[in-house]
């Protein structure tokens, strides 16, 4: 639900929300709780990561915009997108007054313990609470949400994904690390091996998981299917093109041109160059068998 100018009083969740991890979700949940007081929960989003404007280089994305908005819609919250260029030079007070009060009709504001706002990040959670108190609106500051003894952050999640540790990344996210890129036409080598696959390419600026084979799942026609995903260069075929290649178990159909969501669940093994197609085919069947055993265990 893309919001415009708010007519009814709102409870605004503030943050970068670049990954919608458990820390972000805790802030949004605080805004949702104000629904009982008649306030419309809303998330303030920027059109681009602030670091894109400030330093010219943003951290790698770990969630596509479409999946982010799908998740927010599922939570039943509105989102209000502001061009970061329009607010980057506002003082903390101007941001509070012009954006939160005037544009968003905020009557409650929610943020994380480490939230910064205003030009050069001059404002923090303490100042935000002071501004709210002076304007007689409520303020909820969410403490750190931790995993393995440290606060959850998008940086930690990126590092886990790059290292192939998707299981811990998923624990910090509260869901499977997923992407929903368009299915591209391939060489149909999977069909040759008896295991048809869908090919997807990582866009520039999106985090790329460690090369290798993963137990995964794919959302097709509204249903999740068990899958196996290979991320890398396909060394057996001497390819130099990075791609995500997913074999969707118990499914056959043409998905070219569709945006299929793939979620990575567990790292199985590194990429390897096989001596023959027959050897590769046997390994793929073993990977599929391990994936089937994994899903039998988690669904038991």
Which of the residues are catalytic?
A: 245
Q: Which residue has the tokens 């027959």?
A: 278
Q: Which residue has the tokens 């980057």?
A: 88
Please tell me the distance from the alpha carbon of residue 269 to that of residue 218, in angstroms, as a whole number: 19
Contacts of 120 (CB under 8 A, 6+ apart): none
**DSSP strand pairing (223-232 vs 212-220):** antiparallel
Contacts of 159 (CB under 8 A, 6+ apart): none
Stated length of the chain: 300
Asked if 28 and 112 count as a contact pair (C-beta separation under 8 A), the reply is no
Contacts of 288 (CB under 8 A, 6+ apart): 195, 228, 247, 249
Residue 84: both structure tokens together: 């970061």
Buried b (16+ CB within 10 A) or exposed e, 109-133: bbbbeebbbbeeeebbbebbbebbe
Asked if 103 and 6 count as a contact pair (C-beta separation under 8 A), the reply is yes
- Chain centroid offset of residue 145 CA: 17
């Amino acid at each position: 639900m893309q919001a415009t100018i708010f007519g009814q009083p709102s409870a605004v969740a503030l943050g970068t929300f670049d990954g919608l991890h458990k820390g972000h979700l805790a802030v949004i949940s605080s805004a949702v709780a104000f629904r009982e007081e008649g306030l419309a929960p809303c998330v303030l989003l920027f059109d681009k990561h602030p670091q894109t404007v400030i330093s010219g280089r943003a951290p790698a994305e770990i969630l596509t915009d479409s999946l982010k908005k799908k998740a927010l819609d599922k939570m039943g919250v509105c989102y209000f997108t502001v061009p970061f260029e329009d607010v980057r030079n506002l003082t903390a007070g101007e941001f509070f007054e012009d954006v939160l009060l005037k544009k968003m009709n905020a009557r409650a504001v929610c943020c994380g313990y480490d939230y910064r706002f205003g030009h050069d990040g001059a404002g923090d959670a303490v100042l935000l609470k002071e501004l709210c108190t002076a304007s007689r609106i409520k303020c909820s500051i969410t403490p750190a949400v931790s995993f393995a003894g440290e606060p959850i952050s998008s940086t930690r999640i990126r590092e886990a994904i790059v290292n192939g540790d998707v299981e811990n990344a998923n624990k910090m996210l509260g869901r499977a690390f997923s992407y929903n890129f368009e299915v591209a036409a391939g060489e149909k080598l999977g069909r040759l091996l008896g295991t048809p696959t869908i090919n997807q390419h990582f866009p520039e600026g999106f985090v790329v998981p460690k090369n290798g084979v993963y137990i995964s799942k794919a959302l097709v026609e509204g249903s999740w299917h068990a899958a196996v995903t290979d991320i890398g260069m396909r060394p057996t075929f001497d390819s130099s093109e990075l791609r995500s290649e997913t074999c969707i178990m118990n499914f056959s159909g043409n998905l070219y041109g569709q945006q299929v969501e793939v979620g990575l669940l567990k790292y199985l093994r590194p990429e390897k160059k096989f001596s023959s197609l027959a050897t590769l085919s046997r390994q793929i069947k073993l990977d599929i068998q391990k994936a089937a055993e994994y899903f039998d265990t988690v669904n038991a």
